[in-house]
């Protein structure tokens, strides 16, 4: 009857095959002999998308029937990665589909390669949002992921003459078979203009916002399947012109100007801002944030009222999670909708609002905390600025009543008055939410004790921690079939959804046959990556080398350049004939730099320069290789993690909120070299210190060093070997004559070194020597690798989502079979 159930859903091999052929013929307009791989992929994707939507419809019907509480996840970014492989896994039809295609002489793997992923995010934050949709769907949590349908996602990175160059990401160029546009689901969004305060016929105060620009947002839905059962949607908004609005220019004969207006409306969701952890106060960015927030809130109110519910019970039926402050203008927008549009009293509306939102903070870096100049915000959202002022004035009153000092009150205010007056979005989100959480134990502690400490003393129960998690189904089951199958052979496939199942692997740590197979799988994955590297960069790496991998956004706090200093130290050691202890290893880097981030781009240039030197020097290139893989993405990441031996997680303690790459590596059996930062702390705790390569200062030590007055130049003077490495940065040998090329990095490290590379250098180098020693003992290494995987249960996104449900959302699953 499992067969019967499959037939009912159209999931048998025969049905997949006929549906695939039908889609190819009727929707793509091709027959197999004349179809390209892209045609074939598109037809298969359409067939699978239909089945995914069917699951979503079933889930939604059940949720409505139960009148269940839902989660709305608000995120300006998503990085879903390729859909096809995941959807096949979730529908349980990977094998059936492979066979159906084989009968037509088509290889599933070839079609999977065709998929272009939606790069609608910068990095960790966007990918986390997608992992959470996956976990919410799997657990049957009534939920929707709201966001922006950028026409151009994160830029495509190319390396030209060693430098990063950016090209536009035309991800929609060949169409997007996974989404469905809903022209009937559209909302108006206003911008600019002024407000008018007056009385309505009941003599109640009433505010009218008279905008100078209006546009509409249209919903584009993409199904997100859970594992075997439920389905949810990601609803992304695209901006369009309201033809009726100001199309009077057309009637006046100025057709051209009217069309120009239309184009300007479409500009709003044209492109994703490629910055992470940094902000520039760009008007268009604020408009994007407000646009998606307004559409999403209107949609939620509409859905709520559709069920004949009163808006006063909004918080009982919806909870809205703010993914960082990017959607935090929500607080003012919901107030506006309730008060101005639905005539709710201020106090009542404020009560509902504060019970609806919860806010996740993702960063402590001061330069990354969002603020908007009051003048800009007032210009674009005049009514919202008034509302923010009103919220603030009531809030500051409260503070005066509870004995905060004048200084504290100024530092807690929603408005920063020290320079150009600006709105502190983290404060707005904190005041307007019922819960605030950080993303790892360490980060949440620092959030509570430093960045938002006054708020935490005012509302201690508001603050909590939810340690980040990742999708095991994407980052192990789909991306590493070799290891997945080996694990499943031993312990069954319960680990797909049960956190603690992986623990059963501990029983096999001493099993020599298992160890053997474990290393074989890793070697096989390394061969595949070596081919890919060869193809992408022309560099050949031997699969037997230690694959030492550093992939993530390029940022000074993440310290890619600390890794470079290590590589240079090895280079100099080998050149001076002292390299015998060094195991052959390949250093693999990947990651994008924000296009305007000078130092990050220099660091990429440094990596490629070191690569050129090292890879072409016969004295060293049998020992070490250096690779920069261009255009790191989810799709590429799925090839990289399974092949890594060593995972580099070397940020300065206290700077990385959590990190999630660290989890993806460890889940694939890489050992970690890392600082006590972000979730590294918890990973180390779970896998055991003896299976983790720790180095560097702790957060407390970092603070002490800074308090003492850190002088990196002194370390340069004292440590001859470090000096040799640093001087090599500005040598003719490295830069091919242009000794100015890396001087900015050199000067920065010697003069300021804000991320304490020189301070952590010694500890890092010693740790790496130790790593090479352990690597020589293959058996030891393999055991540690197995133990890492066995103890990763905690870092499943399924656990994170359970934490959110229990501690924050108070939402229950609604399951369908």
Region label for 430, one of left (φ > 0), alpha (ψ between -120 and 50) or beta (otherwise): alpha
* H or E stretch covering 676: none
Q: Is 362 in the site for ligand 26M (CB under 6 A)?
A: yes
What are the start-end ranges of the E strands in 89-150? Answer: 143-148
**Shortest-Cβ-distance residue relative to ligand 26M:** 124
8-state DSSP, 10: T
Judged by beta carbon, residue 126 or residue 177, the one nearer ligand 26M is: 126
Tell me which residue of 265, 260, 261, 262 sits closest to 284, measured CA to CA: 265
Of 87 and 325, CB closest to ligand 26M: 325
Instruction: List the catalytic residue out of 51, 127, 216, 553.
Output: 553
Q: Are strands 624-629 and 163-167 parallel, antiparallel or unpaired?
A: unpaired
Contact 198, 210 (CB under 8 A): no
> In angstroms, what is the minimal distance from the CB of 137 to ligand 26M?
19
Strand 194-199 with 205-210, pairing: antiparallel
Smallest distance from the beta carbon of 476 to ligand 26M, in angstroms?
18
Instruction: Catalytic residue, from 156, 287, 362, 635: name it.
Output: 362
Annotated active-site residue 503? The verdict is no
Q: What burial class does residue 143 get, using C-beta atoms within 10 Å of its C-beta: 0-12 exposed, 13-18 middle, 19+ buried?
A: buried
Whose Cβ is closer to ligand 26M: residue 436's or residue 765's?
436
Is 363 near ligand 26M (CB under 6 A)?
yes
Q: What are the helix (H) ranges across 459-591?
A: 472, 481-491, 512-537, 560-575
**CB of 258 within 8 A of CB of 247?**
yes
Q: Which of 82, 124, 231, 611 is the binder for ligand 26M (CB under 6 A)?
A: 124
Residue 648 binds ligand 26M (CB under 6 A): no
Site track 407-446 with ligand 26M (rule: CB under 6 A), x = hit? --------------------------------x-------
x/- track of binding to ligand 26M for residues 551-590 (CB under 6 A) = ----------------------------------------
Q: Is 799 in the site for ligand 26M (CB under 6 A)?
A: no
Q: Is 476 in the site for ligand 26M (CB under 6 A)?
A: no
Task: Indicate which residue of 315, 336, 474, 664 is catalytic.
Answer: 664
Residue 156 designated active-site: no
- Closest CB 552 distance from ligand 26M, rounded Å: 9
Considering only the stretches 2-10, 89-97, 119-127, 153-161, report the one whose residues sit in contact with ligand 26M under the rule CB under 6 A: 119-127
We find the least distance from the C-beta atom of residue 706 to ligand 26M, in angstroms, to be 20
Question: What tokens does 727 get?
Answer: 């001087």
Exactly one of 422, 468, 638, 768 binds ligand 26M (CB under 6 A); which one?
468
Cα gap 63→813, rounded to integer Å: 9
Angle (CA) 68-73-79 rounded to 5° is 135
Angle at 544 (CA atoms; ends 540, 545), nearest 5 degrees = 70
Find the shortest distance in angstroms from Cβ 275 to ligand 26M.
4
552 a catalytic residue: yes
3-state secondary structure of 146: strand
Please, which residues have CB within 8 angstroms of residue 256's CB and are 6 or more apart in sequence?
none
Q: Does 656 bind ligand 26M (CB under 6 A)?
A: yes
By CB under 6 A, tell whether 125 contacts ligand 26M: yes
Query: What interhelical angle do 757-776 and 778-790 show, nearest 10?
Result: 110
Q: Which is nearer to ligand 26M, 142 or 661 (CB)?
A: 661
Piece in contact with ligand 26M (CB under 6 A), picked from 123-131, 517-525, 630-638, 765-773: 123-131
- Cβ neighbors of 171 (< 8 A, separation 6 or more) are 116, 117, 118, 119, 152, 153
**Residue 591 interacts with ligand 26M (CB under 6 A)?**
no
Paired sense of beta strands 671-674 and 693-694, if any: parallel
Locus of tokens 């690798």: 785
586, 657, 663, 725: which one binds ligand 26M (CB under 6 A): 657
Cβ nearer to ligand 26M, comparing 467 with 735: 467
Catalytic status, residue 660: yes
d(CA 234, CA 243): 27
Distance CA 28, CA 21 (A): 10
Compute the distance between CA of residue 256 and CA of residue 258 in angstroms, rounded to an integer. 5
How many other CB atoms sit within 10 Å of the CB of residue 705? Answer: 14
x-or-dash string of contact with ligand 26M, 306-345, rule CB under 6 A:
----------------------------------------
Among 223, 678, 712, 793, binds ligand 26M (CB under 6 A): 678
Stretch that binds ligand 26M, among 60-68, 186-194, 600-608, 651-659 (CB under 6 A): 651-659
Work out which of 40, 63, 128, 637 binds ligand 26M, going by CB under 6 A: 128
| 3-class secondary-structure state, position 238 | strand
Residue closer to ligand 26M (CB basis): 439 or 604: 439
Tell me, residue by residue from 71 to 100, as one string, x for binding to ligand 26M by CB under 6 A and - for no binding.
Answer: ------x-----------------------
Write out the DSSP string of 699-748. Answer: HHHHHHHHHH---HHHHHHH-HHHHHHHHHHTSHHHHTT-TTTTHHHHHH
Does residue 362 carry a catalytic annotation? yes
Question: How far is residue 54 from each of residues 233, 402, 422, measured CA to CA in Å?
Answer: 11, 54, 47
| Given the residues 190, 462, 558, 799, the one annotated as active site | 558
Nearer to ligand 26M, 448 or 784 (CB): 448
Size of the site for ligand 26M (CB under 6 A): 24
Binding segment (CB under 6 A) for ligand 26M, from list 58-66, 534-542, 650-658, 764-772: 650-658
3-state secondary structure of 185: strand
How far apart (Å, rounded) are the C-alpha atoms in residues 134 and 797? 8
Among 60, 218, 363, 660, the one annotated catalytic: 660
Is 304 a catalytic site residue?
no
In the shown chain, the binding pattern of residues 259 to 278 toward ligand 26M, with x for contact by CB under 6 A and - for none, equals --------------x-xxx-
How many of the other CB atoms lie within 10 Å of CB of 717? Answer: 12
The single residue among 84, 279, 369, 554 that binds ligand 26M, judged by CB under 6 A, is 279
- Residue 465 burial (CB count, 10 A): 17
Applying CB under 6 A, does 663 fall inside the site for ligand 26M?
A: no
Alpha-carbon dihedral angle through residues 96, 98, 102, 104, given to the nearest 10 degrees: 80
Give the residue with the Cβ less far from ligand 26M, 134 or 276: 276
Rounded least distance, CB 608 to ligand 26M, Å: 24
Segment contacting ligand 26M (CB under 6 A): 195-203, 360-368, 510-518, 621-629? 360-368
Catalytic residue, from 383, 552, 623, 635: name it. 552
**Nearest distance from C-beta of residue 271 to ligand 26M, angstroms:** 11
Q: Which of 608, 660, 680, 785 binds ligand 26M (CB under 6 A)?
A: 660
Q: Is 723 exposed, middle or buried (0-12, 13-18, 19+ CB in 10 A)?
A: middle
Which residue stretch of 122-130, 415-423, 520-528, 753-761 sits at the interface with ligand 26M (rule: CB under 6 A)? 122-130
CA atoms of 728 and 730, how far apart (whole Å): 5
Find the distance separating the first CA and the last CA of the chain, reported in whole Å: 14
Provide the β-strand partners of residue 216.
Answer: 188, 240
Q: Minimum CB separation from ligand 26M for residue 424, in Å?
A: 14
- In the bound state with ligand 26M, the residue whose beta carbon lies nearer, of 132 and 693, is 132
Catalytic residue list: 362, 552-553, 558, 660, 664
Binding stretches for ligand 26M (CB under 6 A): 77, 122-125, 128, 273, 275-277, 279, 285, 362-363, 368, 370, 439, 468, 656-660, 678
């Amino acid at each position: 009857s499992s067969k019967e159930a499959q037939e009912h859903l159209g999931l048998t091999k025969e049905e997949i095959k006929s549906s695939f052929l039908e889609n190819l013929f009727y929707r793509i307009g091709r027959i197999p002999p004349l179809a390209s791989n892209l045609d074939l992929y598109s037809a298969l994707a359409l067939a699978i998308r239909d089945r995914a939507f069917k699951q979503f419809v079933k889930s939604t019907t059940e949720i409505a029937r139960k009148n269940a509480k839902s989660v709305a996840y608000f995120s300006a970014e998503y990085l879903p990665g390729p859909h096809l492989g995941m959807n096949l896994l979730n529908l349980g039809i990977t094998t059936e589909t492979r066979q159906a295609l084989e009968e037509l002489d088509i290889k599933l793997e070839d079609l999977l390669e065709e998929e272009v992923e939606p790069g609608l995010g910068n990095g960790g934050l966007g990918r986390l949002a997608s992992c959470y949709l996956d976990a919410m769907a799997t657990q049957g949590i009534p939920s929707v992921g709201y966001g922006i349908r950028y026409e151009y996602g994160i830029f495509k990175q190319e390396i030209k003459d060693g430098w990063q160059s950016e090209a536009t990401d035309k991800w929609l160029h060949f169409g997007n078979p996974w989404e469905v546009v809903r022209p009937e689901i559209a909302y108006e969004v206003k911008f600019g203009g002024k407000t008018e305060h007056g009385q309505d016929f009941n003599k109640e105060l009433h505010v009218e916002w008279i905008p100078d620009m209006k546009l509409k947002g249209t919903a584009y839905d993409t199904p997100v399947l859970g594992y075997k059962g439920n389905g949810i949607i990601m609803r992304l908004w695209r901006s369009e012109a309201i033809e009726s609005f100001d199309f009077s220019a057309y009637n006046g004969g100025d057709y051209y100007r009217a069309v120009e207006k239309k184009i300007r409306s479409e500009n709003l969701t044209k492109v994703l801002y490629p910055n992470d952890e940094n902000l520039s106060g760009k008007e268009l960015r604020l408009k994007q944030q407000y646009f998606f927030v307004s559409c999403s809130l209107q949609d939620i109110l509409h859905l709520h009222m559709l069920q004949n519910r009163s808006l006063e019970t909004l918080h009982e039926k919806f909870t809205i999670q703010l993914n960082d402050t990017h959607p935090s203008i929500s607080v003012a927008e919901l107030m506006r909708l309730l008060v101005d549009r639905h005539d709710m009293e201020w106090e009542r509306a404020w009560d509902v609002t504060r019970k609806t939102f919860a806010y996740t903070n993702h960063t402590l870096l001061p330069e990354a905390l969002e603020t908007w100049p009051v003048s800009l915000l007032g210009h674009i959202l005049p009514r919202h600025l008034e509302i923010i002022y009103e919220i603030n004035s009531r809030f500051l009153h409260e503070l005066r009543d509870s004995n905060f000092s004048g200084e504290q009150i100024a530092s807690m205010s929603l408005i920063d008055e020290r320079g150009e007056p600006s709105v502190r979005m983290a404060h707005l989100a904190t005041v307007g939410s019922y819960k605030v959480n950080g993303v790892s134990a360490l980060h949440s502690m620092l959030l509570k004790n430093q960045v938002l400490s006054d708020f935490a003393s005012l509302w201690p129960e508001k603050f909590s921690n939810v340690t980040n998690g990742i999708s095991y189904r994407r980052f192990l089951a789909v991306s590493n079939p070799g290891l997945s199958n080996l694990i499943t052979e031993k312990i069954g496939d319960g680990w797909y959804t049960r956190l603690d199942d992986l623990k059963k692997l501990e029983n096999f740590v001493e099993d020599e046959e298992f160890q053997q197979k474990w290393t074989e799988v890793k070697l096989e994955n390394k061969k595949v990556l070596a081919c890919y590297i060869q193809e992408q960069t022309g560099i050949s790496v031997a699969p037997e080398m230690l694959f030492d991998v550093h992939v993530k956004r390029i940022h000074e706090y993440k310290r890619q350049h600390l890794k470079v200093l290590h590589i240079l130290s090895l280079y100099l050691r080998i050149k001076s004939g002292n390299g015998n202890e060094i195991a052959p290893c390949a250093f693999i880097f990947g990651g994008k730099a924000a296009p305007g981030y000078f130092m990050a781009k220099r660091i990429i240039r440094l990596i490629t320069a070191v690569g050129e030197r090292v890879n072409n020097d016969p004295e060293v290139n049998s020992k070490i290789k250096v690779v920069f893989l261009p255009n790191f993405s989810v799709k590429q990441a799925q090839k990289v993690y399974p092949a890594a031996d060593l995972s580099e997680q070397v940020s300065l303690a206290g700077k990385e909120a959590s990190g999630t790459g660290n989890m993806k590596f460890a889940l694939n059996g890489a050992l970690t070299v890392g600082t006590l930062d972000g979730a590294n702390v918890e990973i180390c705790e779970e896998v055991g210190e003896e299976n983790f390569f720790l180095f560097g200062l702790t957060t407390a030590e970092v603070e002490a060093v800074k308090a003492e007055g850190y002088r990196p130049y002194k370390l340069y003077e004292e440590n001859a070997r470090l000096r040799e490495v640093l001087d090599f940065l500005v040598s003719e040998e490295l830069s091919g004559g242009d000794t100015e090329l890396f001087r900015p990095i050199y000067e920065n490290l010697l003069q300021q070194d804000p991320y304490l590379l020189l301070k952590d250098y010694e500890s890092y180098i010693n740790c790496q020597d130790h790593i090479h020693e352990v690597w020589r003992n293959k058996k030891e290494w393999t055991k540690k690798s197995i133990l890492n995987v066995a103890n990763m249960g905690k870092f499943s996104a399924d656990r994170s989502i359970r934490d959110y449900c229990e501690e924050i959302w108070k939402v229950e699953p609604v399951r369908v079979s």
